[in-house]
Chain A
Amino acid sequence: GQNIDQPTEMTATEGAIVQINCTYQTSGFNGLFWYQQHAGEAPTFLSYNVLDGLEEKGRFSSFLSRSKGYSYLLLKELQMKDSASYLCAVPGGYNKLIFGAGTRLAVHP
């Protein structure tokens, strides 16, 4: 089966860097997704990793290590608008996307 773990809450300061970790166990691996969800809004796609290494996309980067079952989302130059929940997810077979419970990030001035 699949299992995903991520911290429940994190806090950080505006302008700083924060790393949100995700560990997973899957019976097969077909990549890992990160989504952002602001309170009361739709989850929105941030990144997808299927190969090991770091993928950078502006202020956000995502890292994957398949051998360790580990990923992280790196947010640089934090802004207040980055306060949101960050969801880690892996495909769980045909049709399915298995989500972690999400990490709620609070950015303070």
Chain B
Amino acid sequence: ETGVTQTPRHLVMGMTNKKSLKCEQHLGHNAMYWYKQSAKKPLELMFVYNFKEQTENNSVPSRFSPECPNSSHLFLHLHTLQPEDSALYLCASSQEAAALAKNIQYFGAGTRLSVL
């Protein structure tokens, strides 16, 4: 148990569906992250929120829409996805997002998404 919980663990959706991924952290952190992990590829940073404000959007298509209502919760809203969006979506949190060196990120177990 890392203190970061993601739901659902598995999701299958059609290209016309709308769904949301949820992440909750119980670590008192102020920064939260969304990553995409595809087979045999590096973890790709998607979004960063620091104190509820979005500080990074790594050129993510608009069919992915993040929401951070407070420092403990992060959502990723999905609509009109493509089959190539099938991947493991990981959420992480850290004390805060900063240029400080030792900014350890704690990850959730991820949501395995399949787009049909």
Closest to A33 in B: B104
Given the known inter-chain contacts A42-B108, A102-B42, please indicate yes or no for A95 contacting B55, CB distance below 8 A.
yes
Answer whether residue B115 sits at the interface, using C-beta atoms and an 8 A cutoff: no
| A residues 52-109 touching B (CB-CB < 8 Å) | 87, 89, 91, 93-102
Contact between A100 and B42 (Cβ–Cβ < 8 Å)?
yes
Contact between B42 and A99 (Cβ–Cβ < 8 Å)?
yes
* Bound: A95/B105 CA distance, A: 11
* Residue from A40, A95, A101 within 8 A of B97 (CB atoms): A95
Closest to B107 in A: A42
Closest to B39 in A: A101
Interface size for chain A: under 10, 10 to 19, 20 to 34, or 35 or more residues?
20 to 34
Contact between B109 and A41 (Cβ–Cβ < 8 Å)?
yes
Residues of B within 8 A of A41 (CB): 109
Answer whether residue A12 sits at the interface, using C-beta atoms and an 8 A cutoff: no
Residues of B within 8 A of A45 (CB): 104-106
Contact between A42 and B56 (Cβ–Cβ < 8 Å)?
no
The segment from B11-19, B43-51, B60-68, B71-79 that touches chain A is: B43-51
| 26 CB < 8 A contacts A-B | A30-B101, A31-B101, A41-B109, A42-B2, A42-B4, A42-B90, A42-B106, A42-B108, A43-B90, A43-B107, A45-B104, A48-B102, A50-B102, A91-B99, A94-B97, A94-B98, A94-B99, A95-B31, A95-B56, A95-B98, A96-B45, A96-B48, A99-B43, A101-B40, A101-B41, A102-B42
New contact pairs (16) apart from A42-B2, A45-B106, CB-CB < 8 Å? A35-B107, A42-B4, A48-B101, A89-B43, A91-B103, A94-B97, A94-B99, A95-B31, A95-B48, A95-B55, A95-B97, A95-B98, A96-B45, A97-B105, A98-B42, A99-B43
